[in-house]
Amino acid sequence: MACTWSSLLKHEQDKHNDIEKKKMQIAAEKKVELRKFYDTQVSEKNEKKRLEREMQKKYAEEQAKELDLWHKSCDSSTTKKKALDEKAWRDEQILLNKNQKLKFLEQEVQHHVALMERLAKEEEKNKKALEVKAAQQAEFLQTTRTQAQASYSNKKNFWSGQRVEEAEKMNLHEEQFKKYEQKSKEDAIVKKEKERQESEQIRKERAAARTSSRQAAAKLDMEEVQARQKALEKQELERVAKAKELRERTYEYIRQQMTEQKEQKNKELEDLKAPPKPVPNDAGCSLPKKLVARDLTTAHAWDFARSEAELKAKDREQRLKHRKELEAQISARGRPFPGLNIRSRKTRVEPQLSPTEMLLNRKLVDELSSPTT
């Protein structure tokens, strides 16, 4: 099987799916076991309830048997005598209640008969009063009808005379109203003409005032704008000059710092490259301790600088080697730059893994190439 990135990814995905299937199978088995455990718990609980119900039924049957035995034991001569006495007393009470009910019913019948007689008398009395009242009402209606007819005729005559007077007054009022309307129209025409002339004069005066005020305001605004423009130009020139001066100072300071740093680095390199001073024959006893310590430190720095130069050369050689290897991989895949593929899609073939990539993914490559997979 060709060792490509797609085949490796597919193999990794298959492994992941197998692991997930095993996990799901284990979870399902656990669920089945838990379900069995819960079923056993429920069955035990139901069995316990059933046993409790049976015990309660047995207890109730035993209680009923004991009660029957107690009733049988109580059936003696004394109990029978008491029962007969109680029955006779109850019969006497029933007879007394019956007699009381009969007396109460007789009294109610007597009261009802008296009430019916009293109602009949009151009904006859009311009939007579209604007949008298109807006669009085008929007489009153007759008298009121004659009075109403007389008052209606009087009112009719009065209102006919009133209507004639009102008609005369309305005619006179209409004539006066027409004269007033004619006069008011003439006055309105004269007043309207006068107001029109006055309003026209006022409009002319206001227009002249507005134009003069607008011109004055425009002149003031122009002067303010010019003054503000001059002030802004002056501020801008000052700011530009100040910024230019500040940039020149900053550039000068940066150049000075760069020259100082270069001089310092050159001096340090010269100090590192300078060989150490030879130690005198007396092992430095005749020299001060500070000078001896300085010479020893310089010797160590010189040795370190020589060793670092070799390491730098080796690192550079290793980087060049890696670059050549990357260029060879890119050219092998037909991609002049990383991440780009200039070949057409029809002729494109998935590139094989390089030897370095084979080494990095040795475990997956072995699993993929093994006969079991």
pLDDT, tens digit (0-9, with 9 covering 90-100), for 54-96: 988 888 888 888 877 777 766 655 666 776 777 778 778 888 8
Distant-in-sequence, close-in-space partners of 277: CB < 8 Å, separation ≥ 6 = 295, 298
pLDDT tens for 232-256 read 888 989 988 888 898 888 888 988 9
pLDDT tens for 87-142 read 778 778 888 888 888 888 888 877 777 778 888 788 888 888 888 888 887 888 78
Burial class (CB in 10 A: 0-12, 13-18, 19+), 130: exposed
Query: Does residue 360 surpass a pLDDT of 70?
Result: yes
Mean pLDDT of 7-12: 80
Mean pLDDT of the chain: 78
Residue with tokens 């900053």: 250
At 173, list the tokens: 């009022």
Distant-in-sequence, close-in-space partners of 342: CB < 8 Å, separation ≥ 6 = 334, 335, 336
Higher pLDDT, 77 or 181: 181
Query: Does residue 344 surpass a pLDDT of 50?
Result: no
- What percent of the chain clears pLDDT 70, i.e. is strictly above it? 80
Q: Which of 267, 274, 280, 281 is nearest to 297 (CA)?
A: 274
Query: Does residue 340 surpass a pLDDT of 50?
Result: no
Q: What own/partner pairs with CB < 8 Å and gap ≥ 24 does 266-272 have? A: 271/298, 271/301, 272/301, 272/302, 272/304, 272/305
What is the reported pLDDT for 76? 57
Burial class (CB in 10 A: 0-12, 13-18, 19+), 284: middle
Q: How far apart are the first and last CA of the chain?
A: 10
Mean pLDDT of 142-161: 81
At 270, list the tokens: 């010269």
List b or e across 19-53, with b for residues whose CB sees 16 or more CB atoms inside 10 angstroms.
eeeeeeeeeeeeeeeeeeeeeeeeeeeeeeeeeee
Q: With helix as H, strand as E and coil as C, how does 267-336 read?
A: HHHHHHHCCCCCCCCCCCCCCCHHHHHHHHHHHHHHHHHHHHHHHHHHHHHHHHHHHHHHHHHHHHHCCC
Residue type, 288: P
Residue 294 confidence class, pLDDT cut points 50, 70, 90: very low
Backbone phi and psi for residue 336, each to the nearest 5 degrees, phi listed first: -65, -25
Query: Does residue 231 surpass a pLDDT of 60?
Result: yes
Query: Does residue 174 surpass a pLDDT of 60?
Result: yes
What is the reported pLDDT for 73? 67
Burial class (CB in 10 A: 0-12, 13-18, 19+), 199: exposed
Q: Are 298 and 274 in contact (CB under 8 A)?
A: yes
CA 126, chain centre distance (Å): 82
What DSSP assignment string belongs to 50-98?
Answer: HHHHHHHHHHHHHHHHHHHHHHHHH-SHHHHHHHHHHHHHHHHHHHHHH
- CA dist., res. 176 & res. 173, Å (int): 5
Mean pLDDT of 167-176: 83
Q: Are 350 and 4 in contact (CB under 8 A)?
A: yes
Q: Is the pTM of this model over 0.85?
A: no
What is the reported pLDDT for 206? 87
What is the reported pLDDT for 272? 57
Query: Does residue 345 surpass a pLDDT of 70?
Result: no
